Chain A
């Protein structure tokens, strides 16, 4: 069974903290994505990666960075968390032109 696993389901962090969201896939997919989901806005792409050490900005990269040191792992980093980054974060992976597989999501609250 294909698997995309996010390290935390729920996370509460303080303003100004550095936050790491981890995502691991076991399908040997080249492409990995980070989205945030907010009511009424759907899923918005933050960053994506099409290979190890390669990354591309999505539609809303400000305040975020990413790391992909190994093919199976894609990390999202909030350098200095702010309250407007409170959201649901979804990781996804895909190989070629197939559908994307998603993790279970991380609900991040920044207080």
Chain B
């Protein structure tokens, strides 16, 4: 069964505007972590932000913030003040920590194109 769902295959955003990338997840494990990665056209995977299931506050890292809604099982990434260099594919991922499960499951990704 799909554990991570990203429903937006592609998005366009105007430079300097904010964009929200959707991510929903499925788990019965009370202890888990959610990650967002950026993959530019060069192919490298760049870690952006992390949210633990027990974290009380939404994670933020510079222009990136995570809108974590635990009851709805969603972990949307918000990129504020978009820049041309933000054009890339973005992946949502999850690790379930019960029984020391080390697997990292990914969604299908969302391609973001920033327009000047």
A residues neighboring B (CB under 8 Å): 31, 33, 35, 40-45, 48, 50, 56, 58, 88, 90, 92, 94, 97, 99-102, 104-105
User: Is B13 at the interface (CB under 8 A from chain A)?
Assistant: no
Contact of A102 among B4, B9, B44, B107 (CB under 8 A): B44
B residues at A contact (CB < 8 Å): 4, 6, 9, 33, 35, 43-45, 47, 50, 52, 91, 93, 95, 97, 100, 102-109
Say yes or no: A45 contacts B103, CB within 8 Å. yes
- Contact present for B33 and A58 (CB under 8 Å): no
Contact among B91, B95, B102 for A42, CB-based, below 8 A: B91
User: Bound state CA distance, A36 and B104, in angstroms?
Assistant: 13
Which residues of B sit under 8 angstroms from A100, Cβ to Cβ? 35, 47, 93, 104
Q: Decide if B43 touches A105 in the complex (CB within 8 Å).
A: yes
A-B pairs with beta carbons under 8 Å apart, 8 shown: A40-B108, A42-B6, A42-B106, A97-B33, A100-B47, A102-B44, A104-B44, A105-B43
